[in-house]
Amino acid sequence: MTDGKDAEKHEFREESESLWRIAFAPAIWAIHFVVCYAWVSLVCVKFGGDPAVMRVSLLAISAVALAAIAWLGWRAFRQWNVRDTGDFTNPEGEAEDRHEFLGHAAFLLAIISAIGVIYVSMPLIIIEGCR
Amino acid sequence: MTARRWKSKAGTRAGASCALLLLAACSGRQSALDPAGEDAETLALMFTVMVTAAAILWLCLNGLFFYVTRVSPRRMSRKLANGLVIGGGILMPLVLIGALLAWGLSILPDHDQPGDGLVIRVQGEQWWWRVAYETPEGDVISANEIRMPVGERVSFVLDSHRVIHSFWIPSLGGKMDMFPGRQTNLSLRADEAGIYRGQCAEFCGASHAWMAFEVEAMEPDAFDAWLAAEAAPAGPPDGGAEAIGRQIFAREGCGGCHEIRGTEFQGQVGPDLTHVGSRHSLGAGRLGARLEDFSTWIAHTDDLKPGVEMPPFDHLPQEELTALAAYLKGLQ
């Protein structure tokens, strides 16, 4: 009886964590956007405003953001577990279904976030200076 | 001809004339779709390609949707359905929009590319434009009108006195904001001689909509001659009415705000009037430049341009207004 309760508690804790996790990839997208703007201002005002420096460092920031999103996406894909279960939509309301559904949602959000980061990064390649 | 055929013909005709009207609205001296300069060409091309691609994307997506829900609504395998949703709904727009973004960025005109030599400084005021042409002999001061040589890339150095404005000549290129205390740069090249219209493109107060200017793109020789004339001080009044007008100008204190080079009028608050008679418009694009426009403007500034700093001189009798107009129009 106690064991069952513990397992439930453990499961619940894990669920509330993965509920958080589905917001991580879009949050990285948002933070990447803000950091790009802030970094351009900083390079222009404090570090001489060399376009090459700006371009390379911005692309490095983008690469880090994309790597983090890719890692989150991979974890979410494993949580979704579609390859083993063959269950795309997880329509049952059981704990396992909820768990896999959250993985599915987080995986799709990671894809959207990656696209967002790539589109935000494209103008950075042609950035020419501070004016 | 049957009634139905006639109807459809009339319908076609009506549709065609509507389309013609719409197309006619794209031309004109203040249209980004009727480019007369290098940068505006690029922007117009970009607009056309983007609109066309958006139309294609819209038709493909909705066509696919219409096909599977109305034309052929049959059961399909999960694999095919997923393929259609992922392929038509995600991958196709992703690739198309990504390609458009990359292409758009690659041809985006550089607003700050180096000019061919001529530098024009423009400062935004509420609601007019202070203009200075940089020459080796010093600045040539003008206002509310810009003249530039055809075929030469001109550098504009922009800033603003009190609020944010935006400098925009749609026929020649993109817009650029003007900030108080900060310099922005824009370079434009006119490829066709003509008179275009610029407009403030950032809301800047009550008379923002009346803050415009005329742009004349001239052949280089004509431009050089014009600039030499613009640099010269004003000539003396020619004839009786003009001389009377000059006296009224002095008596009413107009010179406290306006400068007329070569005279005792040295005010710096309002637009320079040294050669105001040769400009194409009055009140920063508010009125034309006929003799009667001058007297209308002087008597009714606040009606024509709400909030303007220049007070209306409607207490002056009509013959004095006419004399003032004659003096100013004579400042060629």
Percentage above 90 pLDDT, chain B: 72
- Of A13-22, B117-126, B179-188, give the lowest mean pLDDT range: A13-22
Least confident of A43-47, A96-100, B4-8, B41-45: B4-8
The answer to whether the CB atoms of B94 and A115 lie below 8 A apart is: yes
CA distance B101 to chain A (A): 8
- Residue B18's pLDDT is 66
For B142-190, write each residue's pLDDT tens digit. 999 999 999 999 999 999 999 999 999 999 999 999 999 999 999 999 9
Distance from C-alpha of B145 to C-alpha of B279, rounded to nearest angstrom: 7
> Is B86 in CB contact (< 8 Å) with chain A?
no
Tally the domains of chain A: 1
pLDDT reading at A2 higher than 60: no
Q: What is the pLDDT averaged over residues B35-45? A: 93
For β-strands B212-218 and B194-200, DSSP reports them as: antiparallel
Mutate to test the interface with B, among A122, A125, A127 (most CBs of B within 10 A): A122
Give B184 to chain A, closest Cα distance, Å: 7
pLDDT of residue B10: 65
DSSP summary character for residue B287: B
Evaluate if residue B123 carries a pLDDT over 70. Answer: yes
**Position A60 in a domain:** yes
For strands B184-189 and B119-125, give the pairing: unpaired
Whether A106 is covered by a domain: the verdict is yes
**B 94-113 near A (Cβ less than 8 A):** 94, 97-98, 101-102, 105-106, 108, 110, 112
Chain A residue with minimum CA distance to B108: A126
Picking from A115, A118, A126, the nearest residue to B105 by CB comes out as A126
pLDDT tens for A18-37 read 777 889 999 999 999 999 99
Contacts of B106 in chain A (CB under 8 A): 126
What pLDDT sits at residue A1? 45
Does residue A126 surpass a pLDDT of 60?
A: yes
Q: How far apart are CA B71 and CA B65, in angstroms?
A: 9
**What is the per-residue pLDDT across B206-249, written as a single tens digit (0 to 9) for each?**
999 999 999 999 999 999 999 999 999 999 998 889 999 999 99
Confirm whether A131 is domain-assigned: no
**pLDDT class of B275 with cuts at 50, 70, 90:** very high
B98/A119 Cβ within 8 A? yes
Give pLDDT, residue B265.
96
Q: Are B261 and B233 contacting, i.e. CB atoms less than 8 angstroms apart?
A: yes
State the average pLDDT over residues B51-70: 89
pTM, two decimals, is: 0.81
Give a yes or no: residue A53 inside a domain: yes
pLDDT at A129 over 90: no
Contact A119 B110 (CB under 8 A): no
Q: Å from A3 to nearest chain B CA? A: 41
Is a pLDDT exceeding 60 seen at residue B29? yes
Least confident residue range of A13-27, A53-67, A69-83, B263-277: A13-27
Q: Within a domain: residue A12?
A: yes
Cβ distance B105 to A125 less than 8 Å, yes or no, reads yes
Report pLDDT for B4.
52
Whether A113 is in a domain gets the answer yes
Q: What is the mean pLDDT of chain A?
A: 85
Could you give the C-alpha distances from B89 to B55, B60, B93, B283, in angstroms and in order? Answer: 15, 10, 7, 53
B56 in contact with A, Cβ within 8 Å: no
Range with the poorest average pLDDT among A42-51, B12-21, B109-118: B12-21
Q: E strand or H helix at B38, and its extent?
A: helix B38-66
Domain region containing A98? 2-125
**Alpha-helical regions (H) of chain A:** 2-21, 24-46, 51-80, 82-85, 95-125
Distance between terminal CA atoms of chain A? 69
Residue A130 lies in a domain: no
**ipTM (interface predicted TM):** 0.72
Write out pLDDT tens, residues A79-107.
888 777 777 777 777 777 778 888 889 99
Q: What is the mean pLDDT of chain B?
A: 91
Cα–Cα distance measured from residue A22 to residue A16, given in angstroms and rounded to the nearest whole number: 10
Q: Is A114 within a domain?
A: yes
Average pLDDT over residues B56-72: 88
